[in-house]
Chain A
Amino acid sequence: MTTTPKPPPGHFTILYFATATSFTSKNVESLPAPLSLRKLVGVLEERYKGIKEGVLDHSLVTINLAYVDIPEEGEDDVVIKEGDEVAIIPPVSSG
């Protein structure tokens, strides 16, 4: 188990796995923090058109290696903080 380099000040790291990597053509990048988890989907959709339907809707999201639910309307939001590590993990189903 290793860690990725620290993001620049005022940013968090976001890791893309499996089809999220192919969709964004990236393994990792830094995004401005703090950011509400609910807004993350919008921020990513803005950068990568179609990623919501193509990847995010069926992927799981972790913050600092722990699973988080994307909050629905009316549910408490989670804030992604500076230095956090977020991961987008689509299901892999082949074998």
Chain B
Amino acid sequence: MQHNSTEEQRSNGVATLANGERTGSGRRLTDEEFDRYSRQMIVPGMGKEAQLRLINSKVLIIGAGGLGCPAAQYIAGAGIGTIGIIDGDVVEPSNLHRQVGHATSRIGMKKADSLISHLRDLNPLPTYVPYTFPISPDNAADIISQYDLVLDCTDNPATRYLISDVCVLLYKPLVSAASVQKSGQLIVLNCPPTPQGRVDKKYPPCYRCCFRTPPPANTQLSCGEAGIMGPVVGLMGVAQAGEAIKILASGLHLPSSTSNDTGDDPHNLIQPALLIHSYDLNAAPGPYTFRALKMASRKKNCIACGENSPQTLTLEGIKSSNPNYLQFCGLQTPKTILPVQDRITASAYHATRQSGQLQNHILLDTREKEHFSFGSIDGAVNVPFGKLLMKAATIKRDGGNAEEILPIKSAEDPIFVVCRRGLDSQEAVEKLKELGVDHGGKRKIVDIIGGMKAWKEEVDPSFPFI
């Protein structure tokens, strides 16, 4: 009950902050600001002080894609004073169904520049800072240190762990969202920012506290490979902006280390929550579209923020590849895992077929069935990679007949495996051999190098590759 007064202060948006400069007190709103921000300033809980705090805030948006575009629009619209945008990619036509901050006329432009040009048109008042290269262990701390709050709008686990770690070390709140296919997630992390190693009470979790280990590399889905529905990722990005504005307007981004250590730190009271959004294409308005889940607080044994974390995670360590994020996320597997004799180029496979030397053979296509539905090589049989792995695991465990993994019964015909870009197919070849489908080497099982992408480049330029 002793925290009531602070809770009230926060809810009406006029909490007295330790850092007077950040409250913006002593400055008047310009006429232009007054006009532009009037509709949000009159909302109960906002007011002039909260607006000035937004104007005096610096927000870094990492990733200018499906999350970053909608998030940035509302961050800019709300009048955040300095907005940094990091993205190393360029705008492509396949981005535009969801990345609403880009435009057809800006295809080929760096995404950070393209999004900023859109934002400037929306609101010329903020200072915009483009970073047209990807965030990395080398540059993360230097960039993040210049901002008050970070939005993680990136697209891969390695970067997510990196950003979370650096935010813990630099006392930055992190609003993290993610989305793929028909699912979205959103969580506010490290807010209020709390020094590493403090576990005596309930403190906010970091990304590692929630997701201790990344999924295996072969199950990490990217939007490019797995697809994404625009409104799903859009909702998550907009919600990210909403959380960021809430934190900045109420001054929650200020580290709890600035307050005294008497034990009644109001910052301890925030209940972390994970918002889940799942969108069902097959159902009328789904039975469970949104869910808010109560999350646990900081984990005692977390290597980034837990008890002994000052020994396990430092800024210097991150710069010198400790931890190694790519390895942690299983992404340092070499591109070629199979020996040459188990592989064939797409053009060589085509030529062998054309010459009639390859009569009976099985061609397995391990892409997802949606990809397969757009086109395939003549005679190909679709066995999606995930299903293949599951069948392999079942056969291995129960000791069933390994041949049953094949959709076509034939004990001798050579097998060729093709996937989208040539990675899954190599793993599939390995799995089949492991199961003994190659009869100890008597039957050939061959990977088509570079997958359907190579097929399009080398054999059939009209092939509809997605």
Contacts and interface: CB of A to CB of B under 8 A. Distances in A.
Interface of A: 1-5, 15, 17-19, 21-23, 27-28, 48-50, 53-55, 57-58, 60, 62, 65-67, 69, 87, 89-95
Q: Which of A53, A54, A69 has the most CB of B within 10 A?
A: A54
Contacts of B333: none
Please classify how large the interface on chain B is, using the bins under 10, 10 to 19, 20 to 34, 35 or more: 35 or more
Counting from the closest, the 10 A-B pairs by CB-CB distance are: A50-B393, A94-B180, A92-B178, A66-B294, A95-B67, A91-B211, A93-B157, A18-B183, A49-B394, A95-B155
A88 to B, nearest CB: 11
A61 to B, nearest CB: 10
Interface in B390-438: 390, 393-394, 397
Contacts of B274: 60, 67, 89
B206 interface: no
Given A4-B287, A92-B179, A92-B185, A62 B296 contact: no
Given A54-B219, A58-B215, A95-B155, A87 B291 contact: yes
A87 B274 CA distance: 12
B356 to A, nearest CB: 40
Most buried by A among B66, B153, B290, B390: B390
A22 B155 contact: no
B66 A17 contact: no
18 contacts: A1-B290, A2-B289, A4-B288, A17-B276, A21-B183, A28-B287, A54-B389, A57-B213, A58-B216, A91-B185, A92-B183, A92-B184, A93-B154, A93-B155, A94-B179, A94-B223, A95-B65, A95-B67
If over half of B's interface residues share one DSSP class (helix, strand or loop), that class is named, otherwise mixed; here it is mixed
B389 to A, nearest CB: 7
Contact of A19 (B154, B155, B219): B219
A67 B155 CA distance: 24
A91 B291 contact: no
Contacts of B215: 19, 55, 58, 90-91, 93
Contact of A54 (B179, B216, B289): B216
B293 interface: yes
Interface string B197-236: 0000000000000111111100111110010100001001
B156 A58 contact: no
Contacts of B288: 2-4, 15
Given A54-B219, A58-B212, A89-B276, A95 B157 contact: no
Contacts of A23: 386, 390
A49 B293 CA distance: 27
A2 B287 contact: yes
Contact of B292 (A48, A65, A89): A65
A5 B287 CA distance: 8
Interface of B: 63, 65-68, 153-157, 160, 177-181, 183-185, 210-216, 219-223, 226, 228, 233, 236, 274, 276, 278, 280, 287-296, 386, 389-390, 393-394, 397
Nearest to B294: A66
Given A54-B216, A58-B215, A94 B228 contact: yes
B328 to A, nearest CB: 12
Contacts of A54: 216, 219, 389-390
Contacts of B295: 67
A52 B278 CA distance: 22
A28 B280 CA distance: 12
A21 B160 CA distance: 23
Contacts of A55: 215, 219
A95 B210 contact: no
Contact of A94 (B214, B221, B280): B221
Given A19-B221, A55-B219, A93-B154, 9 more contacts: A49-B394, A50-B393, A60-B211, A91-B185, A94-B222, A94-B226, A95-B67, A95-B68, A95-B155
A93 B212 contact: no
Contacts of A92: 178-180, 183-185
Contacts of A67: 274, 293-296
A24 to B, nearest CB: 10
A18 B63 CA distance: 21
Contacts of A57: 213
Given A18-B183, A66-B293, A91 B223 contact: no
A92 to B, nearest CB: 4
A60 B219 contact: no
A79 B396 CA distance: 32
B293 A87 contact: yes
Contacts of A15: 288
A91 B216 contact: no
A58 B397 contact: no
B420 to A, nearest CB: 16
A50 B214 CA distance: 16
A95 B276 contact: no
A94 B184 CA distance: 9
B293 A18 contact: no
A7 B184 CA distance: 25
Nearest to A91: B211
